[in-house]
């Protein structure tokens, strides 16, 4: 049986090494499971602590995806099995998954050493959570990124409440509500990627690590890695950014006047002659109203929160949202039965109870917050 994460090290000309972790579940587009998190996280921490490790590389097996998101099907089956046995409590795997996933994401965000994430192919949900915090984020011409949680009755987590808020203008809220896919140029414009390279350059980039003399100074290594990637990226074609092209329209579409007017404008957008915008509006219209309300609530709440506070808040919200019927129904319709015909609890956002959303923000654990130690 193959390892779910392949761990190895790249020797360099100066005797120092790079850690290299490859998500290895190409059959599920490298969907991030608890088993993968538990294999990667301790090794990541060990590499950070090892003075002979000068940087870390994250990538995915196969040519289709870096990581298509968290393994929500596993959560779905755990919840369904518990309900079938008459157990109404939250299955232990749910809090375990979110705590350990968010810890890993936070470790990447705060790593003092260079972290290269090769975001080739599909990068969605939990995959963006891994990539967003890396110091050197590579997208390729085949990169397709999205936060598609509105289609499964969730919301953009894995720090999404933090990094979506930091995108240009109101584009982050647009992506949260519509789950619109973005390409490499969009990712650079939105602040989710730093470099655009041809995927064929990857072998040469990793080989160049071994031919380079690295320093004991992390700041020097950050600059050397940036230079290496910039040189390799000079030959890459650059796609057009839909986010940049439609920036002013998106800003006006989202506006500052509340969720209900946004919904009305998105409904009109569904008839737009621009296919990318019309498809985004259609995805919103098919999505869970509860997800739209929750995403908007977090957008408003997270403006002045630190990254650590965002992960603590998202942990609370994820425990609540995952146990709601819309999550199970969304995963069933999109990923299990694949009929793409979810039956949401609410017909529209007007039917979503404000108290229900407020309850999602409250702690669902006893004692100290499980992520209280995040600085």
In the set 71, 149, 186, 329, the catalytic residue is: 149
Residue in 157, 201, 314, 324 annotated catalytic:
157
Q: Is 70 a catalytic residue?
A: yes
| Phi (first) and psi of residue 6, to 5 degrees | -90, 125
Of the candidates 70, 125, 153, 330, the residue annotated as catalytic is 70
From the list 126, 127, 159, 172, the catalytic residue is 126
Helix (H, G, I), strand (E, B) or coil at 45: helix
Q: And the tokens for 123?
A: 């990068």
126 is catalytic: yes
Q: Which residues contact 126 (CB under 8 A, 6 or more apart)?
A: 31, 32, 67, 69, 70, 101, 158
Rounded-to-integer distance, Cα 188 and Cα 319, Å: 31
- Residue 153 is among the residues annotated as catalytic for this protein: no
* Residues 124, 131 contacting (CB under 8 angstroms): no
Q: DSSP string spanning 96-161?
A: HHHHHHHHHHHHHHT-SS-EEEEE-BEEETHHHHHHHT-SEEEE-TT-EEE--GGGGT----TTHH
The answer to whether 228 and 211 are in contact (CB under 8 A) is: no
Annotated catalytic sites, by residue? Answer: 70, 126, 149, 157
């Amino acid at each position: 049986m193959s390892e779910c994460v392949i761990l190895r090290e790249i020797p360099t000309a100066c005797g120092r090494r790079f850690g290299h972790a490859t998500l290895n579940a190409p059959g599920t587009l490298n969907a991030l499971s608890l088993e993968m998190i538990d294999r990667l996280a301790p090794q990541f921490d060990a590499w950070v602590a090892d003075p002979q490790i000068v940087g870390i590389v994250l990538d995915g097996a196969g040519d289709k995806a870096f990581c298509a998101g968290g393994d929500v099907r596993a959560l779905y089956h755990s919840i369904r099995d518990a309900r079938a046995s008459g157990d109404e409590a939250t299955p232990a795997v749910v809090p375990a998954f979110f705590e350990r996933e968010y810890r890993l994401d936070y470790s990447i965000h705060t790593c003092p050493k260079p972290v290269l994430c090769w975001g080739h192919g599909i990068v969605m949900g939990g995959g963006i959570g891994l990539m967003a915090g890396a110091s050197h984020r590579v997208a390729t011409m085949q990169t397709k990124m999205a936060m598609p949680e509105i289609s499964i009755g969730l919301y953009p987590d894995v720090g999404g409440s933090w990094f979506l808020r930091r995108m240009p203008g109101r584009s982050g809220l647009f992506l949260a509500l519509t789950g619109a896919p973005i390409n490499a140029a969009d990712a650079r414009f939105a602040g989710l990627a730093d470099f655009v390279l041809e995927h064929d350059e990857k072998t040469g980039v990793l080989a160049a690590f071994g031919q380079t003399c690295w320093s004991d100074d992390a700041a020097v290594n950050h600059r050397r890695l940036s230079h290496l990637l910039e040189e390799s990226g000079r030959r890459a074609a650059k796609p057009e950014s839909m986010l940049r092209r439609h920036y002013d329209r998106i800003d006006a579409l989202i506006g500052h006047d509340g969720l209900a007017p946004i919904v009305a404008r998105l409904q009109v957008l569904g008839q737009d002659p621009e296919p990318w915008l019309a498809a985004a509006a259609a995805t919103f219209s098919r999505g869970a109203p509860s997800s739209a309300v929750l995403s908007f609530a977090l957008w408003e709440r997270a403006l002045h929160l630190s990254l650590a506070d965002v992960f603590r808040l998202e942990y609370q919200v994820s425990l609540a949202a995952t146990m709601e019927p819309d999550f199970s129904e969304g995963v069933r319709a999109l990923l299990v039965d694949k009929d793409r015909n979810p039956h949401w609890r609410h017909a529209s956002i007007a039917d979503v109870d404000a108290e229900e959303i407020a309850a999602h923000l409250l702690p669902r654990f006893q004692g100290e917050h499980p992520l209280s130690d995040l600085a």
